[in-house]
């Protein structure tokens, strides 16, 4: 017997719109590979794209030792040569006050320079910065509309983080945009295919309940599972509920309870409530099996 209702489950896709207004992050999604010696040499000889690659690696400490001062110098050198992503990268330094003093006006200027030249990352960061502006009246509406359009442009270029951001805007109907699950789906799919757990979980909800697409519970489970294994508490809760903690199949029931316990340990509210309802009926043998399964799953979860 399913104990999960639609009204109880849908909130577990909640992404919190305020996440869109957080500090812009440069190159947040993709890992930086080791920097080849020839790229370092090219950067030393002033080649803009090489300077950007080395700057990015130094900034994150991936591909070469972390060195934010060197990252800034190389990022500025590339930006001064008109490298679009480097322009957006320089905006990052001003947006967070890394090496230079924090200056949102200069950050916006550099994000805009990169965005106009076609940098998807600069477009996303400019859009997020505009949505975070606290301007009243008609000015606020214009900034909001412009911010959404920049994020859409970045998403249309296939940038995973932008796909998640714009997909969320469409999913929730935020920032003056009409809610449209069908339009949100392809953007969230792009983000999910790039491994973003939040998008995978949200697509799972949309598949399970047929929101903007035909209902497909079989497709929901692997999406929840992928996100759950990345440590996404909402996906862990959704997966546990989908598997059903009262499932007649012993193995499935144990796994369902294990996922709910893991999500509950992270204070995921739906998991907490479901466990409260089913815990009195759990037999001692099942409880021991659940604890063992929790231990097994915890070893598989990415931290």
Q: Which SS3 state, helix, strand or coil, does residue 62 take?
A: coil
For 167-226, the pLDDT digits (tens) are 999 999 999 999 999 999 999 999 999 999 999 999 999 999 999 999 999 999 999 999
Say which CATH class 31-115 falls into.
mainly alpha
pLDDT attached to residue 135: 64
Structure tokens at 200: 């995978």
pLDDT of residue 137: 66
Token digits of residue 56: 């990015």
User: In three state form, how does the secondary structure of 119-143 look?
Assistant: CHHHHHHHHHHHHHCCCCHHHHHHH
* C-alpha to C-alpha distances, 47 to 54, 78, 79, 86, 92, nearest whole angstrom: 11, 8, 11, 12, 21
Distance from C-alpha of 164 to C-alpha of 124, rounded to nearest angstrom: 11
The reported pTM is: 0.86
- Asked whether the predicted pLDDT for residue 119 surpasses 90, the reply is yes
The pLDDT assigned to 71 comes to 97
pLDDT of res. 25: 46
What lies within 8 Å, CB to CB, of 162 at 6+ separation is: 120, 123, 124, 127, 151, 154, 155
Cα separation, 60 vs 253, in Å, equals 42
- State the pLDDT at residue 31: 58
Does residue 127 have a pLDDT over 70?
Answer: yes
């Amino acid at each position: 017997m399913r104990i999960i209702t639609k009204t109880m489950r849908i909130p577990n896709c909640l992404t919190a719109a305020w996440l869109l207004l957080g500090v812009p992050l440069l190159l947040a999604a993709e890992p930086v590979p080791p920097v080849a010696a020839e790229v370092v040499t090219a950067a030393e000889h002033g080649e803009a794209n090489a300077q950007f690659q080395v700057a990015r690696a130094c900034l994150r400490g991936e591909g070469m030792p972390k060195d934010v001062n060197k990252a800034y110098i190389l990022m500025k050198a590339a930006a001064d040569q008109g490298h679009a992503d480097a322009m957006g990268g320089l905006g990052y330094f001003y947006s967070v006050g890394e090496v230079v003093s924090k200056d949102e006006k200069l950050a916006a200027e550099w994000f805009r320079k990169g965005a106009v030249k076609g940098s998807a990352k600069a477009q996303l960061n400019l859009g997020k910065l505009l949505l975070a502006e606290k301007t009243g009246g008609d000015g606020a509406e214009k900034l909001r509309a412009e911010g959404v359009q920049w994020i859409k442009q970045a998403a249309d270029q296939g940038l995973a983080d932008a796909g998640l951001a714009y997909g969320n805007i469409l999913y929730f109907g935020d920032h003056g945009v009409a809610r449209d699950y069908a339009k949100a789906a392809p953007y969230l799919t792009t983000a999910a295919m790039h491994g973003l757990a939040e998008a995978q979980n949200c697509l799972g909800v949309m598949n399970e309940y047929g929101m903007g697409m035909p209902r497909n519970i079989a497709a929901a489970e692997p999406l929840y599972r992928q996100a759950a294994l990345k440590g996404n508490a909402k996906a862990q809760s959704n997966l546990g509920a989908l598997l059903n903690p009262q499932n007649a199949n012993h193995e499935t029931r144990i796994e369902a309870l294990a996922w709910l316990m893991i999500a509950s340990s992270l204070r995921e509210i739906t998991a907490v409530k479901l466990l409260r309802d089913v815990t009195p009926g759990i037999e001692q043998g099942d409880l021991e099996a659940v604890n063992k399964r929790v231990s097994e799953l915890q070893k598989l979860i990415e931290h």
